[in-house]
């Protein structure tokens, strides 16, 4: 996929292009980003950019990929010459193959499971499944992948046999491009057998590029980390997720805004939330607060009964939405102006009422209770008991404030 198909992350895209254009690119990169940030799509797009036939003049065979003189960059830091592209062309033979994940010089490594007892599985055993997974779920996480290949409760691994295969593949000459690229997804699943790769990573064959894509730096072998150049992938901007949901998932701007605001920069999470996008969380929250503060026990029992029937995922989504509104309410109270926050008028009015209802310390106390409730829901707490207890706690937190109706 080209960079343009990767959601947001424009600063990272520019940084990657700039490293290539100015010949500051290490032979081993570590893309580190939380799930749903797009680290894997970025790695795939970057690999396509490197092999694109129209990206840069190709070096001679066996020449160095890194360290040659950089070329033209204009005074405005924009790449304007035709052979200094900021994205892969998408039309050359190399791009077409890269987009189909069949380019012979772009190799993939990822956690796999034995197909039968005694097997020593390698990534190529699952290459067809891998291609289908990336096409369908480019922002999926390792759990999604392992379930996709039928792992169930089995633990995925990047095996010693896989490491041997990597060493063999990268020792061969490239087929079509002047570059050989290995994208290793989730090196956290690489045990001590990963030490077999140290010499290859430290002294790779010419024009070889390693791209490791990880979520948790602490689970990667320190000896591997020390040999890579770290590229931190931040969480996606809310506006980028909102735009992606409206253009790709074809949902309304209002639904996209609600989902994006509580997805915490995680596009995978946003897609999960999309399954329940028809729910009007603001109306449900309004009913709850009015039951707590005005209409009394009968309305509270009725609301708790309704909330307990939502199911765990919807319950967590609702609590996250309330958490998001409280965080926005605190920001508006501290900042004073809301125009820079791009808050819709309806939501802005609701935030004003929340600020009238509780001060910052009370709002922070409510956020803490919401986070606890989300934790307990994830561990199968009884929904009726949980929301009943949470209703009482919220009442006592704001009991010393003036009782108002949340219209």
The pLDDT of residue 92 is 92
Give the Cα separation of 81 and 73 in Å (integer): 8
User: Do the domains at 3-234 and 281-397 have one common CATH topology?
Assistant: no
Apex CA 88: angle with CA 82 and CA 91, to 5°?
95
Q: Which residues pair with 208 in a beta bridge?
A: 180
Going edge to edge, which strands form the sheet with 28-32? Answer: 106-109, 180-185, 208-214, 28-32, 229-232
Asked if 28 and 212 touch (Cβ cutoff 8 Å), the reply is yes
Q: What SS3 state is found at 106?
A: strand
Q: Enumerate the domain spans of the chain.
A: 3-234, 239-274, 281-397
Tokens of 35: 């799930």
Structure tokens at 374: 């989300």
Nearest to 374 by CA among 395, 351, 390, 358: 390
Cβ proximity of 21 and 71 under 8 Å: yes
Low-confidence ranges of the chain (pLDDT < 50): 57-83, 339-341, 402-407
Instruction: Look at residues 75, 11, 13 and name the one whose alpha carbon lies nearest to residue 48.
Output: 13
DSSP letters, 129-187, are HHHHHHHH-TT--HHHHHHHTT-TTPPPBB-HHHHHHHHHHHHSPPSSSS-EEEEEE-G
HSE-CB for 170 with a 13 A CA cutoff: 27
pLDDT of 168: 92
- Residue 328's SS3 state is helix
What local confidence, expressed as pLDDT, does residue 301 receive? 93
| Residue 210 three-state SS | strand
Give me the pLDDT at residue 71, please. Answer: 37
What token pair was written down for 248?
Answer: 């790709």
- Whether the model clears a pTM of 0.75, i.e. scores above it, the answer is no
CATH architecture, range 281-397: Up-down Bundle (1.20)
202 phi, psi to nearest 5 deg:
-75, -35
Residue 61 has a pLDDT of 43
pLDDT digits (tens, 9 = 90+) for 338-386: 544 455 666 677 788 888 888 888 989 999 999 999 889 888 889 999 9
Write out the CATH class of domain 3-234. Answer: alpha beta
**Collapsing DSSP states into helix, strand and coil, what is residue 85?**
coil
Neighbours of 144 (CB within 10 A): 14
Contact of 323 with 371, CB cutoff 8 Å: yes
97: its two tokens = 């193959």
Q: Which two tokens stand for residue 1?
A: 């996929």
Q: What is the pLDDT of residues 17-51, one digit of tens each?
A: 988 888 787 889 999 999 999 999 999 999 999 99
């Amino acid at each position: 996929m080209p960079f343009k198909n990767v959601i947001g992350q424009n600063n990272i895209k520019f940084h990657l292009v700039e490293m290539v254009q100015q010949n500051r690119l290490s032979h081993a990169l570590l893309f580190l980003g939380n799930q749903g940030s797009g680290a894997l799509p970025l790695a795939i797009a970057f690999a396509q950019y490197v092999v694109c036939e129209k990206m840069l003049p190709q070096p001679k065979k066996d020449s160095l990929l890194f360290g040659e003189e950089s070329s033209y960059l204009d005074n405005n830091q924009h790449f304007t010459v035709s052979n200094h592209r900021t994205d892969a062309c998408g039309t050359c033979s190399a791009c077409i193959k890269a987009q189909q994940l069949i380019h012979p010089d772009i190799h993939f490594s990822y956690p796999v499971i034995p197909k039968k007892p005694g097997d020593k599985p390698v990534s190529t055993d699952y290459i067809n499944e891998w291609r289908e997974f990336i096409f369908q779920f480019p922002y999926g996480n390792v759990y999604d992948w392992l379930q996709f290949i039928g792992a169930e409760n089995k633990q995925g691994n990047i095996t010693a046999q896989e490491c041997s295969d990597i060493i063999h593949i990268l020792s061969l000459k490239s087929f079509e491009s002047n570059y050989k690229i290995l994208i290793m997804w989730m090196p956290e699943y690489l045990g001590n057998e990963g030490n077999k790769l140290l010499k290859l990573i430290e002294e790779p064959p010419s024009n070889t590029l390693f791209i490791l894509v990880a979520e948790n730096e602490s689970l990667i072998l320190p000896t591997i980390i020390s040999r890579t150049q770290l590229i931190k992938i931040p969480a996606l901007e809310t506006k980028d997720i909102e735009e992606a949901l409206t253009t790709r998932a074809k949902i309304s701007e209002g639904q996209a805004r609600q989902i994006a605001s509580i997805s915490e920069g995680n596009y995978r999470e946003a897609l999960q939330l999309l399954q329940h996008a028809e729910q009007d969380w603001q109306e449900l929250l309004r009913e709850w607060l009015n039951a707590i503060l005005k209409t009394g026990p009968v309305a509270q029992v009725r609301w708790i009964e309704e909330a307990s029937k939502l199911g765990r995922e919807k319950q967590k989504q609702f609590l996250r939405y309330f958490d998001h509104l409280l965080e926005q309410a605190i920001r508006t109270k501290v900042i004073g102006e809301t125009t820079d926050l791009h808050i819709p008028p309806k939501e802005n009015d609701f935030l004003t009422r929340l600020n009238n209802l509780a001060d910052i310390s009370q709002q922070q106390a409510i956020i803490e209770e919401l986070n606890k409730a989300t934790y307990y829901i994830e561990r199968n707490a009884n929904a009726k008991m949980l929301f009943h207890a949470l209703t009482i706690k919220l009442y006592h937190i704001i009991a010393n404030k003036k009782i108002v109706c949340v219209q």
